Chain A
């Protein structure tokens, strides 16, 4: 491969993968938070006296 401007090619590819990884991590973290909230609300509803 031609080595001219290799540095900027590396920055470009790194930026693309970084954005993809960050977005994937964001989705995972939101999924965990929502799951924890669902569990919490279910426990709360089960514990509350039925009307």
Chain B
């Protein structure tokens, strides 16, 4: 039953992405200054927000693990973090491509870009930390603490372009600016693609959680095999 739900959600996400691509490429109004390249935005901001949800979920699950010591929370935390890392990579790479065209440079060390990169590296460190600790309960405990503290970097990145003057464009969504700074059709499309990315995120996290469960089954079988040998 669970497999069917994951499969169904995956198919729905794929169809939703096809619908969104059709609207993005063929129906949305053009941006006066940037030409076609502004359409990267629909694959830059939604993955970032989906990654933020992943990291927030991981931080909450990590706190719950420290409180209850239930493995399920640790499984969710590592799965959400890994998927969030892939989504944050999309955000960084699409941003660099847009920057190359608009600013003439691939990268600049301003507060927003630098904090986004550091956040990505911290979460990469989280996965490396887990690889380095063999004892499962020590691994879960240490990585849970790191996951909670790492979320401060996510919040800093979110606020960086308000707190500092950055080359990165400022907030554009009406919910943040309180003004009509973006065409309503473009803003609606951003939310549609965010929904598609969130759906995909749920599918990927569910698949990754299943892998983590299987990995724990392998570790248990290995221990039994050692005991028999």
User: Chain A: residues with CB nearer than 8 A to chain B?
Assistant: 1-6, 8-9, 11-13, 15-16, 19-20, 23-24, 27, 30-31, 34-35, 37-38, 41-42, 44-45, 48, 51
Contact = CB atoms under 8 A, between A and B. Distances in A.
17 contacts: A1-B25, A1-B36, A2-B35, A3-B35, A4-B34, A5-B37, A12-B98, A13-B39, A15-B90, A16-B90, A19-B89, A20-B90, A24-B204, A34-B211, A38-B217, A45-B224, A51-B228
B215 interface: yes
B225 A41 contact: yes
A41 B204 contact: no
Given A2-B36, A23-B204, A48-B229, A15 B94 contact: yes
A4 B229 contact: no
B71 to A, nearest CB: 17
Main secondary structure of the interface of B (DSSP, over half): helix
Contacts of B86: 19-20, 23
Nearest to A24: B204
Contacts of B217: 38
Main secondary structure of the interface of A (DSSP, over half): helix
Which among A16, A24, A42 has the highest number of chain B CB atoms within 10 Å?
A16
Which among B34, B37, B221, B222 has the highest number of chain A CB atoms within 10 Å?
B37
